[in-house]
A and B are shown apart, each in its own frame.
Chain A
């Protein structure tokens, strides 16, 4: 299975702090994506990083990928209360169908 596993399962921080979430997977991938889900809502695509890339940025988001360790991290800098959500990593192989991990629940306290 290419399912990613996020770590930690839950993260509680204060507004303004940085939040780091990690994702590990088991088999080789073509890409890894990070998604955000607010409670009871659909998924919002955040960033896609391909297997030949090591780092990508988008606004306050920074994603790294280490294919030798089969791991990725998502860093949210200067967090805001509105960043409170669940964050999922999803890996894709040859079929390009994402396989999701269990997610990290992030709570940012104002």
Chain B
């Protein structure tokens, strides 16, 4: 099956710093990737849709200046949490939609655990 990777898997940073999380589709080109956030024992919340070569589409309530998304190539999308604060601590998961495959199938990455001290 299709593989999506995330890096890093776990990151701890100080408050005020910025953190970049990478999402890569390893064996297919993904024109569309998605970023989710998950709080402990909670659902996954869609943050934004990342489109290759164009601006990301953010969900209501998600600060686009806080969570910068760059989808510069067909295999890589990055999420940068700028000026991170403890309330940004969460589990961030990306997913990628495979072109030519079923429109309704996404492949999820393993997630990145962010802890802001």
Q: How large is the interface on B (under 10, 10 to 19, 20 to 34, 35 or more residues)?
A: 20 to 34
Q: Chain A residues near B49: list those with CB within 8 A.
A: 97
B103 engages A42 (CB within 8 Å): no
Main DSSP-derived SS at the A contact region: strand
Q: Chain A residues near B91: list those with CB within 8 A.
A: 40
Residues in chain A within 8 A of chain B (CB atoms) = 3, 30-31, 33, 35, 40-45, 48, 50, 88, 92, 96-103, 105
**What is the minimal beta-carbon distance from B74 to any residue of chain A, in angstroms?**
19
**Interchain pairs with CB closer than 8 A, number:** 51
Q: Chain B residues near A48: list those with CB within 8 A.
A: 102, 104-105
Main DSSP-derived SS at the B contact region: strand
Bound-complex Cα distance A105 to B42 (A): 11
Mind listing 22 A-B residue pairs with CB under 8 Å? Answer: A3-B43, A30-B104, A33-B104, A35-B108, A40-B91, A42-B93, A42-B110, A43-B95, A43-B108, A45-B105, A45-B107, A45-B108, A48-B102, A48-B105, A88-B43, A92-B104, A96-B97, A96-B103, A96-B104, A98-B106, A100-B36, A102-B43
- A-facing mask of B81-108, CB < 8 A → 1, else 0? 0000000000101010100001111111
Which one of A30, A88, A105 lies within 8 Å of B44 (CB-CB)? A88
Given contacts A31-B104, A96-B103, A98-B106, whether A43 and B93 have CB atoms under 8 Å apart is yes
**What is the minimal beta-carbon distance from A7 to any residue of chain B, in angstroms?**
14
Bound-complex Cα distance A43 to B46 (A): 14
Please name the residue on chain B nearest to A86 by beta carbon: B41
A41 engages B103 (CB within 8 Å): no
Bound-complex Cα distance A45 to B113 (A): 20
Q: Chain A residues near B34: list those with CB within 8 A.
A: 97
